[in-house]
Amino acid sequence: MNKKIVVAICGASGSIYGIRLLKALLKNPINIYLIISNAGYKVLEHETGYRGESFSSFLKDKGVVIHNDAVLNIYEQDDFFAPPASGSFRNDGMVIVPCSMKTLGAIASGIADNLIHRAADVNLKEKRPLILLPRETPLSLIHLKNMYMAAKAGATIMPPSPSFYSNPQSIFDLVDSVIARVLDHLKIEHDLVKQWGDNIV
């Protein structure tokens, strides 16, 4: 049976992280439940050249190859009838990438005002993986407290902090060094970066 992963893209800077995660996931037989917030679409337009075309054809233009047995479902942020809105929808994890401070705040305070907040709330209450890649700098005490609350409730806080020890040659390498850690946490095999120690005999 295919793994089921919920992916959300918010209106924080760094939509490329969401695209590279989808690229890495969709090369596998996997079911993706993708939610893009309204602000997420706007930042995608600003940062990636997305122009309102069908999102799957946009992904293909970005070099995303979809496995024959993969399924990409896309939902609007207000669609509370979508599967991720219910605890009865069993999934293997949810990733919010990038995660805005607004969405982080909503999750930390239990405000399920849109499908992204609700799906995150559901995964926390059902004790399913929830991985947040919050993007802001510097961080206020409110941001830090919200991260603390989300982590205490069971979320994994994974700021998109690329690694440099793998000698990255491009922005894609930098981004993928973060995505590799997300895939590790989702228990999905990948060859995006070498594990530390692999080059030691």
Ligand X SMILES: Cc1cc2nc3c(=O)[nH]c(=O)nc-3n(C[C@H](O)[C@H](O)[C@H](O)COP(=O)(O)O)c2cc1C
Nearer to ligand X, 32 or 133 (CB): 133
Question: 187 — alpha (psi -120 to 50), left (phi > 0) or beta?
Answer: left
CA distances from 69 to 9, 27, 73 (A): 23, 9, 13
CA atoms within 13 A on the CB side of 120: 36
Residue sitting closest to ligand X (CB)? 11
Instruction: Tell me how far the alpha carbon of residue 133 is from its chain's centroid.
Output: 7
Nearer to ligand X, 43 or 124 (CB): 43
We find the least distance from the C-beta atom of residue 46 to ligand X, in angstroms, to be 5
Tell me the per-residue interface mask from 118 to 157 with ligand X, x by CB under 6 A, - otherwise: -----------------xx---------------------
We find the least distance from the C-beta atom of residue 142 to ligand X, in angstroms, to be 11
* CA pair distance 6, 15, nearest whole angstrom: 16
Nearer to ligand X, 18 or 40 (CB): 40
Is the link from the previous residue into 98 a cis peptide, with omega within 30 of 0?
Answer: yes
Tell me the per-residue interface mask from 72 to 101 with ligand X, x by CB under 6 A, - otherwise: ----------------------------xx
Nearer to ligand X, 28 or 77 (CB): 77
Q: Which of residues 26-45 bind ligand X (CB under 6 A)?
A: 37, 39-40, 42-43
We find the least distance from the C-beta atom of residue 100 to ligand X, in angstroms, to be 4
Interface ranges with ligand X (CB under 6 A) = 10-13, 37, 39-40, 42-43, 46, 100-103, 135-136
